Amino acid sequence: MEDRTYTADAEPGQTATVAGWAHEIRDLGGIAFLIVRDTTGKIQVKFEKDEMDDDLVETGMGVNRESVVKVTGDVEEEERAPTGVEIVPESVEVVADADPELPLDPSGKVDADLSTRLDNRTLDLRKEETKAIFEIRAEVLRSVREAFRDLGSTEINTPKIVATGTEGGTELFPITYFGQEAFMNQSPQLFKQLMVGSGLERVFEIGPIFRAEEHNTPRHLNEATSIDFESAFFDHEDAMDACETVVKAAYEGVAENCRDELEALGYEDFEAPEGDFPRLTYEEAIERINATGELDEQLVWGDDLPTEGEKALGDDVGSHYFITDWPSEIKPFYIKDHDDDEQLSTGFDLMHPNMELVSGGQREHRYDHLVEGFEQQGLDPDAFEYYTKMFKYGMPPHAGWGLGGERLVMTMLGLENIREAVLFPRDRQRLSP
Ligand code: AMO
């Protein structure tokens, strides 16, 4: 729009046109205020009824809240105005009227439950705090991309419609692809691995993953954003180093570039995690969980860590930490075992004290071992020939990981529900909007 001034840029002495939403209308008798809100903030528009044209006052006062308005007038200094300036209007135009019955109140005075908020995201993101979450999410993705580029990796995009799954057969969403059965992809795992054997060597991808998980929890989505990394000539230790760098970069980017958003969310002392993330072996992890006495039954080697166990350990460690050296039997076929102990895998998880953020590991790059791994996991290697075949033509040792984008934002901001970090979440109940 021509000649539009953002509310944050309106300077005293200027004649400006601001455009935005009617945030509030306050009629105090002889004087009245219309607060106009745009993406940069709010500005007060003052109506002195005796001194102004009746039509102008009527238009200004008759605006329904949340209508889109355009106001032109002189910007003046006014100490008592919330931002220290106000507009004395020459013209007020209602550009798009809003129904007086709003499904939720963007001024935040009336609370709305999460479901109502998700049904009305447009209005929900007019609230400063909700908008702040998505500005921060965008900054997380920006800084993560930059960190990946600094690590010398190339961004790739791999197919989301696939013929076979990788992370487990029950969690796939089937679709029909020109009369043939296909699936929504659960992870770019196999494709990113194929690219480390290409001339690219080190790659990353930020994209959707689809999981037909039945459970409906505050930290699971059926469509999530996976931040994936994979590098040739990396072992699991190198992959953990890269993971630590990228997670810290996300925090540092937010601390540096999202001060207003953090303030809107009430964070006074947001800090990026310092020091190295501790690396505990799986064995140490189960011992420490058992020692907390929080579980009814003691964990034994080979058990997956239950949510309460992760929580007890997280409280005990108190920072981000890795769990390494998992039993091979509970890690997927593509994870390589330690050379000197095939019961022990190079798989690792990065944990936030409250939940798992990342899974990764060094990969099995030897063709024979890989095909064997498929068979052991009950998968038909022939269905994955497009993948296994490339391991016959010079596949370097490699390692990588996948980080849940929403979980990163959720844990960073202490959100109670992962859905708060997704514009339009997909879960058991929610397929629209
Ligand atoms: P995994 O299945 O552990 O590993 O997924 C990696 C990370 O993605 C996030 N995540 C989810 N977030 C929200 N809702 C879900 N349903 C969901 N599923 C996963 C989690 C999790 O830690 N191919 C491997 C990664 C690798 O080895 O490179 C994989 O997909 O934060």
Q: Is the CB of 117 under 6 A from ligand 1?
A: no
Report if residue 172 sits inside a domain: yes
Report if residue 141 sits inside a domain: yes
What is the mean pLDDT of the segment spanning 108-136?
Answer: 96
Q: Is the CB of 305 under 6 A from ligand 1?
A: no
Ligand 1 center–CA 358 separation, angstroms: 6
Residues listed for the chain: 433
How high is the pLDDT of residue 253? 98
Q: Is the CB of 400 under 6 A from ligand 1?
A: yes
Which pairs from 117-123 meet CB under 8 Å and 24+ separation? Answer: 118/419, 118/424, 118/425, 118/430, 118/433, 119/433, 121/423, 121/424, 121/433, 123/66
- What CATH number is attached to the domain comprising 352? 3.30.930.10
- Position 110 confidence tier, pLDDT thresholds 50, 70, 90: confident
Tens of pLDDT, residue by residue over 382-419, are 989 999 999 999 999 999 999 999 999 999 999 999 99
- What is the rounded distance in angstroms from the CA atom of residue 166 to the CA atom of residue 211? 11
H helix intervals, 331-423: 367-376, 385-388, 405-413
- Position 164 confidence tier, pLDDT thresholds 50, 70, 90: confident
How high is the pLDDT of residue 168? 63
Question: Are residues 256 and 143 located together in one domain of the fold?
Answer: yes
Ligand 1 pocket test, pick from 209, 220, 225, 422 with the greatest ligand atom count within 8 Å of Cβ, gives 209
Give which of 5, 91, 13, 76 is closest to 44, Cα–Cα: 76
Tens of pLDDT, residue by residue over 321-333, are 999 999 999 999 9
Q: Is the CB of 187 under 6 A from ligand 1?
A: yes
Question: Are residues 163 and 14 located together in one domain of the fold?
Answer: no
Which residues are annotated as catalytic?
A: 211, 213, 219-220, 356, 359, 407
- What CATH number is attached to the domain comprising 46? 2.40.50.140
Report if residue 431 sits inside a domain: no
Tens of pLDDT, residue by residue over 235-246, are 999 999 999 999
Tens of pLDDT, residue by residue over 179-194, are 999 999 999 999 999 9
Report if residue 283 sits inside a domain: no
Domain ranges, residue 141: 122-278+319-421
- What is the rounded distance in angstroms from the CA atom of residue 230 to the CA atom of residue 217? 29
How high is the pLDDT of residue 139? 98
Q: Is the CB of 220 under 6 A from ligand 1?
A: yes
Q: Is the CB of 356 under 6 A from ligand 1?
A: yes
How high is the pLDDT of residue 169? 60
At 125, give phi and psi (nearest 5°): -80, 5
Tens of pLDDT, residue by residue over 251-306, are 999 999 999 999 999 998 999 999 999 999 999 999 999 999 999 999 999 999 99
Nearest CA to ligand 1 atom 28: 401
How high is the pLDDT of residue 41? 95
At 221, give phi and psi (nearest 5°): -125, 160
What is the mean pLDDT of the segment spanning 141-161?
Answer: 98
Instruction: Specify the range with the lowest mean pLDDT, choosing from 53-57, 110-114, 233-237, 376-380.
Output: 376-380
What is the mean pLDDT of the segment spanning 354-366?
Answer: 97
Question: Are residues 172 and 60 located together in one domain of the fold?
Answer: no
Ligand 1 center–CA 209 separation, angstroms: 8
pLDDT at residue 132 greater than cutoff 90: yes
- Position 1 confidence tier, pLDDT thresholds 50, 70, 90: low
- What is the rounded distance in angstroms from the CA atom of residue 74 to the CA atom of residue 22? 18
How high is the pLDDT of residue 108? 82
- Mean per-residue pLDDT of the chain: 96
Ligand 1 center–CA 43 separation, angstroms: 44
- Position 376 confidence tier, pLDDT thresholds 50, 70, 90: confident
How high is the pLDDT of residue 250? 98
The label of the residue with tokens 């300036």 reads 85
What is the mean pLDDT of the segment spanning 72-100?
Answer: 96
Report if residue 113 sits inside a domain: no
The pLDDT > 70 percentage for the chain reads 99
Report if residue 225 sits inside a domain: yes
Ligand 1 center–CA 125 separation, angstroms: 27
Question: Are residues 397 and 267 located together in one domain of the fold?
Answer: yes
What is the mean pLDDT of the segment spanning 19-26?
Answer: 97
What is the mean pLDDT of the segment spanning 306-313?
Answer: 95
pLDDT at residue 195 greater than cutoff 70: yes
How high is the pLDDT of residue 205? 99
Question: Are residues 39 and 183 located together in one domain of the fold?
Answer: no
The DSSP annotation for 59-118 comes to HHHHPPTT-EEEEEEEEEE-TTSTTSEEEEEEEEEEEE---SS-SS-TTSSS---HHHHH
How high is the pLDDT of residue 359? 97
pLDDT at residue 165 greater than cutoff 90: no
Instruction: Specify the range with the lowest mean pLDDT, choosing from 32-46, 151-165, 369-383.
Output: 369-383
Ligand 1 pocket test, pick from 305, 358, 408 with the greatest ligand atom count within 8 Å of Cβ, gives 358
Q: State the total domains in the chain.
A: 2
- Position 167 confidence tier, pLDDT thresholds 50, 70, 90: confident
On whether the CB atoms of residues 65 and 23 are closer than 8 A, the answer is: yes
Q: Is the CB of 225 under 6 A from ligand 1?
A: no
Question: Are residues 370 and 273 located together in one domain of the fold?
Answer: yes
Choose the final residue of a domain: 78, 96, 114: 96
